[in-house]
A and B are shown apart, each in its own frame.
Chain A
Amino acid sequence: MEVKLDRINKKFGAVHVLKDIDLVFPSRKFVTLLGPSGCGKTTLLRMIAGLEEVTQGAIRFGGRDVTKLAPRDRNIAMVFQSYALYPQMTVRKNLGYGLRVRKTPKIEIDSAVERVAKILEIDHLLDRKPGQLSGGQRQRVALGRAMVRKPDIFLMDEPLSNLDAKLRVTMRGELRKFHLDLNATTIYVTHDQLEAMTMSDYIAVMHQGVLQQFGTPEQIYNKPANIFVASFIGSPPMNFLTGAVDGTNIIVNGVALNLPSHAAALSGRELQLGIRPQDLVLTDQKSGSLPGTVSLVELLGSEKLIEVELEGGNHLTVQVNADHNTRLRETVHLKLKPDRAHLFDRESGEAVLRQIAA
């Protein structure tokens, strides 16, 4: 079922936490709301769930206006960050609660609970209480409770953040698999870009209550709409330098660096250049490259991160192969891959090169 947000606004007293959010979550897709903490993503999810009132705007599920409906009338399911299992009930009762309050016949409840428990491999835990389960098991029960009712829309609020790193990777894959099996629209909230990139069909990046960009993970990564998205997505983060465009070059620290040919339209403008660490290349050529001193070398296993200090004090992070032989305080020269350069307006932060390309 498609979820449509129509100019959604939310105010807590004088605090304006969500501003004019227009967003369509396509039917049966996995969409992630991504942003730093305090960006309003959880509030938005809670509004879709009906747990938070909408100050202004409308929420539509498949064309039906649900803005004023109680959570129970929306046929949604939600997995909470804290799992929110009912502590006094056994796993069996936890899973069946949603069906029980809807007066489903007992036989149907039992078979639905057994079915879901089998899928999630928690059928041996049915008579335990949440307090007797490990974090991963609780996570599965919370998922099961959401799955058992066959909801139209699946909401998840940072469901993996309480798990250890290894389990998180496993659950990432499993969540994605469940999504494909369930065939429901999934809205997933996280501040972890890796989760967003690996699991989503679409990502909506939010910052300070404003939707920054909506697109596929590739679009978000390769064509960030503004400086915020560019700096938030990608690890290690994108490097930024200020420069003036001159023809198809950008002049940084007096050095002319190549840009793609269509950048010529921006000639004469002072812009922010963004370049990802893997799009910088160490070179022997002294001309047309930025000189700098290596100030830090970090080995990550398969690659190395090199921090280079430029004249004037700017720092750039460069990603190279692990076998690259670079020593501390060595002078190096950097070039950028022209077609991987991003240019942003210095005032508004909007991507300008992308607009021309489009």
Chain B
Amino acid sequence: MNRFFPSSARKALLYLTLALVTFFVCFPLVWALSTSLKPKSEIFATPPILIPRTMTLENYEALLTGRQQYYQADPKAAVSGPSPAAFFTRWFMNSMIVTIGSTLISIVVSTLAAYSLTRFRYWGRSSIPYFSLLGYMVPSIIFVFPLFLMMVRLELTDSLWSLILGYVCITLPFCMWLMWAFMRSIPLEIEEAALIDGASRYQAFANVVLPTALPGIIAASIFSMIVSWNDYLFGRVFMNSLDNFTLTVGVMLFFEGTHVDWGLLMAASVLMTLPMAILFMMLQRHLVAGFGAGAVKG
């Protein structure tokens, strides 16, 4: 094949493919960013323009300050009263709280569970991780109504706690499996060396096991954060009041009128994407470096 395909041609083909894939993946994002920066007059311009002629931050300002200058609630629309834009910062905070809260619980529980499963001998220690993975394979829509009924009993509906606990339910099994697989790769000897060096079991865990497990913890955190941040289903079912919506549910309200303010909607989408994008950029290096270090044993 090499004889018929000179290496320069193969390279060109490779780059062309990569460019196409990148274009497909990035275009919606770029378009959202572009729309969010356009004044109203340019949004529906024909032919469409990618780079706004006049850039404006009006949409962002409206979302972040809650002013309603661009959005007029339709009195006949499903949601009457204040504009969704007025709630944006509130929803953003709600999303942050449930994402961080559920991730913290998932990570603490799954790390300790994985430690126990890999370090102590008891009945079921080898089958539990696989069962937990099975739990993750069931679609979350199957969980949502039983969970909702439980939340009603616990009188937690329409509170952020219901979402935190709900997200723990769907992220914990996979986090636990991931941490279990990671902990298993940490040699028992380094912990035993710490015990002999004079550490208590807690010290050995905190000083030796945890730092070594960090790449696993980061991977599990990223997974849990993405699931919680992007969830729509649980937020839609568990929450009733505008004040308690998360971003994904709240942003849908921008559609529920006769008039859709695309500029505002796109600005909201960009702001929603931002935290996860920043998180990824910050942690990606650790993730790759960490997995490398974990994989190649001493």
Binding site for B on A (CB under 8 A): 49-51, 70-72, 76-78, 80-88, 97-98, 101-102, 130-131, 138, 145, 149
Contacts and interface: CB of A to CB of B under 8 A. Distances in A.
B139 interface: no
A130 B193 CA distance: 14
Nearest to B199: A101
B207 interface: yes
**Size bracket, chain B contacts:** 20 to 34
B196 A78 contact: yes
B293 interface: yes
B243 to A, nearest CB: 44
B212 A72 contact: no
Contact of A84 (B193, B198, B211): B193
B196 A49 contact: yes
A21 to B, nearest CB: 21
Given A72-B198, A86-B193, 17 more contacts: A49-B192, A50-B195, A51-B192, A51-B196, A72-B195, A72-B197, A82-B298, A84-B193, A85-B190, A86-B194, A87-B298, A97-B197, A97-B207, A131-B293, A131-B298, A149-B197, A149-B198
Given A131-B293, A138-B298, A84 B190 contact: yes
Nearest to A75: B198
B200 interface: yes
20 contacts: A70-B195, A71-B192, A72-B199, A80-B192, A80-B193, A82-B189, A84-B189, A84-B193, A86-B193, A86-B212, A87-B212, A87-B293, A88-B214, A97-B194, A97-B199, A97-B207, A101-B199, A101-B203, A131-B296, A149-B197
A109 to B, nearest CB: 12
Contacts of B193: 78, 80, 84-86, 145
A88 B187 contact: no
B286 to A, nearest CB: 12
A166 B293 CA distance: 28
Contacts of B208: 86, 88
A95 B148 CA distance: 54
Contacts of A80: 189, 192-193
B38 to A, nearest CB: 49
Interface in B203-251: 203, 207-208, 211-212, 214
A102 B193 CA distance: 14
Contacts of A51: 192, 195-196
Contacts of A131: 293, 296, 298
Interface string B165-204: 0000000000000000000000101101111111110010
A17 B200 CA distance: 28
- Closest 3 interchain pairs by CB? A84-B189, A98-B197, A88-B211
B200 to A, nearest CB: 7
Contacts of A101: 194, 197-199, 203, 207
Contacts of A82: 187, 189, 298
Contacts of A50: 195-196
Contacts of A77: 196-197
A76 B293 CA distance: 30
A83 B296 CA distance: 15
A136 B250 CA distance: 61
A81 B195 CA distance: 16
Nearest to B213: A88
Interface string B11-25: 000000000000000
A149 B198 CA distance: 10
A131 B212 CA distance: 13
Contacts of B194: 86, 97, 101
A84 B296 CA distance: 14
Nearest to B214: A88
A358 to B, nearest CB: 40
Nearest to A130: B298
Given A78-B193, A97-B207, A145-B193, A85 B298 contact: yes
Contacts of B187: 82, 84
